[in-house]
């Protein structure tokens, strides 16, 4: 099972994401931003960082990179895609997920472990978790304040598209304490906290994040990929 990890200029967490894929028992495949070729991978992770220096808006330039022009139609056809932090911002800019990420309400860069609740364990990236399972995962962002129109937020809630929610209030000001969402089909998930930094108690606050990656392995095994 092969899971692609995209590297953009300015990506930081691609190697941790690849390590998490290995921990979950799959093979990480490095994908390059300037390359159209998805190399036949079974799923794709857009990692955290500051793609293209966060110029214009976070994720706004990455959206138009060659790898994204291949990824957008593949995601629409059901390819599992996980966007973490900057990856979430890119997915919103590419309209694969609704809403947008704006400046943290207190303007400070936030870097700390946060408690999350898994609200939807029925996505390609969360099926290893139980409903309402509590996770402790690092959050590190300057622009993680999730905003969307009220009607969009209502729709996300109604459709069960809120995947993870901050348990102690959103430190970045996100609407309705939303930490991560999915698309309608459930194959595309984006979240601001970093599960790839919480796969091993030696290097993170917990191993709670590993489930995102084992979920994909489980989901792909189910489809015979």
Shortest spacing between CB 100 and other proteins, in angstroms: 4
Is 194 annotated as catalytic?
yes
Contact between 195 and 212 under an 8 Å Cβ cutoff? The reply is: yes
Q: Which stretch binds other proteins (CB under 8 A): 56-64, 73-81, 110-118, 181-189?
A: 56-64
Q: Based on CB atoms, which residue is closest to other proteins, 145 or 215?
A: 145
Smallest distance, other proteins to C-beta of residue 105, A: 6
d(CA 25, CA 167): 29
DSSP β-bridge partners for residue 145: 102
Note whether 176 binds other proteins by CB under 8 A. Answer: no
Active site residue 85: yes
Structure tokens that stand for 177 in this block? 């304490």
Exactly one of 60, 72, 110, 167 binds other proteins (CB under 8 A); that residue is 60
196 catalytic residue (yes or no): yes
Name the catalytic one among 33, 119, 194, 197.
Answer: 194
Strand ranges (DSSP E) for the chain? Answer: 2-7, 27-32, 43-46, 81-84, 100-102, 110-118, 134-141, 145-147, 162-166, 178-182, 188-191
Q: Which stretch binds other proteins (CB under 8 A): 29-37, 40-48, 93-101, 199-207?
A: 93-101
Applying CB under 8 A, the residues found at the interface with other proteins are: 56-57, 60, 64, 92-93, 98-100, 102-107, 145, 147-149, 173
Which of the residues are catalytic?
A: 85, 194, 196
């Amino acid at each position: 099972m092969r899971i692609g990890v995209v590297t953009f200029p300015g990506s930081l967490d691609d190697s941790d994401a690849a390590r998490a894929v290995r921990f979950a028992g799959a093979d990480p495949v490095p994908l390059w931003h300037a390359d159209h070729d998805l190399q036949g991978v079974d799923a794709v992770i857009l990692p955290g960082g500051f793609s293209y220096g966060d110029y214009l808006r976070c994720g706004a330039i990455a959206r138009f990179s060659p790898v994204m022009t291949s990824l957008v139609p593949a995601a629409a056809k059901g390819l599992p895609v996980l966007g973490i932090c900057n990856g979430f911002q890119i997915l919103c800019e590419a309209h694969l997920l609704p809403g947008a990420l704006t400046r943290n309400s207190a303007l400070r860069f936030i870097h700390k472990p946060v408690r999350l609740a898994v609200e939807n364990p029925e996505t390609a990236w969360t099926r290893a978790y139980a409903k309402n399972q509590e996770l402790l995962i690092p959050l590190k962002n300057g622009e993680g304040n999730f905003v969307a129109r009220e009607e969009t937020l209502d729709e996300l809630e109604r459709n069960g598209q809120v995947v993870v929610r901050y348990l102690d209030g959103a430190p970045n000001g996100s609407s309705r304490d939303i930490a991560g969402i999915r698309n309608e089909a459930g194959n595309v998930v984006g979240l601001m906290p970093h599960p790839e930094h919480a796969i091993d108690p030696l290097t993170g606050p917990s191993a709670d994040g590993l489930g995102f990656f084992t979920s994909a392995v489980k989901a792909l095994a189910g489809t015979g990929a």
